[in-house]
Amino acid sequence: MWTLSWEMYGSMIIFLVLGVTASCKAFWRRAVLVSLAWYFFKAGYFLCQFMFVSGALLAELSLIMNASKTGGAKPPTPWVEGENKWRRWLREYWPLGLTFLALILASCPPENQTYAPYSRRIFFFFEDYITTEGGTYLPPFHE
């Protein structure tokens, strides 16, 4: 129940931003979304809103990818003489590797992250290198 206010606030921000930028060109809409994502990430306290704006950016990415698609699934490219085998493998299978990485990151428990060794490594890596300077701590909400 306590997350409802954060979700409503994030949804309203996305509604307002997309409503205001609906008549703008796609470039300017994306520029506004990127600048808002940067602001919310740097503010630290607004990480929930950062997630909502990031979701809107991922939706934009999906639209770009669908618009630039050239007719369905592409057949695998034939191996070219002299091409690096690892580079070709990485080029073809990076989505699968990214999926496995996302599954590993999503498997971290929401509480007591430091109990399992793999979860502890992921938790402290995010605390040290990914989150804002204040970490993931949110101050208590006062009315």
Q: Give the tens place of pLDDT for each residue, 104-114.
A: 776 777 677 77
Whether residue 142 is contained in a domain is answered as no
Tell me the DSSP string of the chain.
-TTHHHHHHHHHHHHHHHHHTTTS-HHHHHHHHHHHHHHHHHHSTTHHHHHHHHHHHHHHHHHHHHHT--SSPPPPPPPPTT--HHHHHHHHHHHHHHHHHHHHHHTS-SS-TTSSHHHHHHHHHIIIIIS-TTTT--PPP--
Q: Are residues 50 and 2 in the same domain?
A: yes
Q: Rounded to an integer, what distance in angstroms lies between the CA atom of residue 52 and that of residue 15?
A: 10
Which amino acid, residue 6?
Answer: W
Q: Are residues 51 and 5 in the same domain?
A: yes
Q: Are residues 43 and 13 in the same domain?
A: yes
How confident is the model over 20-25, as a mean pLDDT? 83
Q: What is the pLDDT of residue 134?
A: 56
Task: Quote the percentage of the chain above a pLDDT of 70.
Answer: 76
Q: Give the tens place of pLDDT for each residue, 67-89.
A: 666 544 455 566 667 778 887 77
- What is the total count of domains within the chain? 2
Instruction: Please name the residue that has the structure tokens 């590797």.
Output: 97
Whether residue 97 is contained in a domain is answered as yes
For residue 135, pLDDT over 70 is answered with: no
Q: Are residues 30 and 55 in the same domain?
A: yes
| Minimum mean pLDDT range among 17-21, 40-44, 92-96 | 92-96
Q: What is the pLDDT of residue 140?
A: 57
For residue 143, pLDDT over 80 is answered with: no
How confident is the model over 33-45, as a mean pLDDT? 83
Whether residue 31 is contained in a domain is answered as yes
